[in-house]
Structure formats: C-alpha cells, structure tokens
Amino acid sequence: MELHHSKHHQTYVTNLNRALESHHAAILANDIAAQIALQPVIKFNGGGHINHALFWQNLAPESDEGAKPDAAPSLVAEITKRWGSVDKFKENFSSALLGIQGSGWGWLVKEEGEGAGALRIITTQNQDPVFSGEVPIIGVDMWEHAYYLQYLNGKASYVENIWNVINWKTAEQRFLAGRADVLKGLEL
C-alpha cells in the first residue's frame, strides 16, 4: 500500500502535472502538433491518477462497518437483481479480473443516460479511465504492482482477498450519485 500510494500514484500525479504544463504552453504557442502529441501522456497519467484516487476510496479496513455489503442496501438490491446474489456477482467480477491480459483494471459501473441505473462489469487496459456515460462504483487495480510483493504470481489469492477490504459504503454513495459527483474532489 505504501509503495503503491507514495510512489506509483505519485508518479502519475507528477507526470500528469508536467504533461498539463507542457500542454498549457503548447496552447499558448498555438502549437497544435505538440498538443496532439501530449494526448496519450495525459490520458495515461490522468487515468492513473483518477483510477488510483477512486481505488483508495473504495477500499476500507476489514474491521470497518463499511467493509460489508450490508452497508450498501440499494446497491446490493440492484446487484441481486442483475446477478442473483452478491456471491454470484463476486464470482463474475473475479473472473473478469483474472481474464485481464497484461495491466489493467476491473470496474463495477452504472450506466448513465439511456438504460440508466443498469450495472455492468467492465475491464480497462493499462490506465484507461472508465468511459464517459458510466459511473465507476468499485474499481480493482490488476497491475502486478498492486499485489506482487505480497502474493507474487498468485493473483487469484489477491482477487479473493480484496473482497475483505472493499468499501461498500463508498460503493453505495457512488451508486446513488451521478458521474460528476463521483469524480468531484479528484482535482489535482
């Protein structure tokens, strides 16, 4: 957790700030080519920042009240409607996480707009952020740095154990909120 937060997340923030500064300079210089060239860097580091910020918030110590599905009554009701039970949902989410090839994230998201409120499990590559039109509810980091020091190549154990520290209270708040509210407070 310490390395993940103070080193990895910090690197995304540092590189994002640097890229945004260059981008700002490129706008002032009216340098379109430079602005375009910076897009992938901004997407990668900006995504890295947003994803990790959301991730820390949706984790909680096992002893917390919020670390149990009971803390998310309306979300659990919707999950049960969609997958049959919380256990079935966990099973589906876990197998999506283990199916990621390379680095990436798994997310429980809620649709906005058309089909609003519907829940889906999605995976994203590298640091791609969750698409617009979807509200991120629970995110799980599947980069090797997220588990390697403790679980080595045993990523299935990491996935199994992460369920003990999911912050269902945060998940419930996100489920009841809109995308803009969920992403609020993630400014640099």
* Binding-site residues for Mn(2+): 4, 52, 141, 145
Q: Match 């998310």 to its residue by tokens.
A: 72
Q: Does 44 bind another protein (CB under 8 A)?
A: yes
Q: Match 């969920």 to its residue by tokens.
A: 182
Picking from 45, 29, 46, 26, the residue whose alpha carbon sits closest to that of residue 37 is 26
Chain positions 116 to 145 lying near Fe ion, rule: CB under 5 A, are 141, 143
> Distance between alpha carbon 171 and the CA centroid of its chain, in Å?
11
- Whether residue 135 contacts residue 182, with contact meaning beta carbons closer than 8 Å, is answered with yes
Q: Does 172 bind Fe ion (CB under 5 A)?
A: no
From Fe ion, another protein, none, interface partner of 152 (C-beta below 5 to 8 A by class): another protein
Q: Does 143 bind another protein (CB under 8 A)?
A: yes
Q: Does 149 bind another protein (CB under 8 A)?
A: yes
Binding mask 100-129 for another protein (x = CB under 8 A): -xxxx--------------------xxx--
From another protein, Fe ion, none, interface partner of 141 (C-beta below 5 to 8 A by class): Fe ion
- Contacts of 91-94 with C-beta under 8 Å, sequence gap 24+, read 92/121, 93/121, 93/138, 93/140, 94/159, 94/160
> Distance between alpha carbon 27 and the CA centroid of its chain, in Å?
30
Residues contributing to the site for another protein (CB under 8 A): 3, 7-8, 11, 40, 44, 101-104, 125-127, 143-145, 148-149, 152-153
* Interacting residue ranges for Fe ion, rule: CB under 5 A: 141, 143, 146
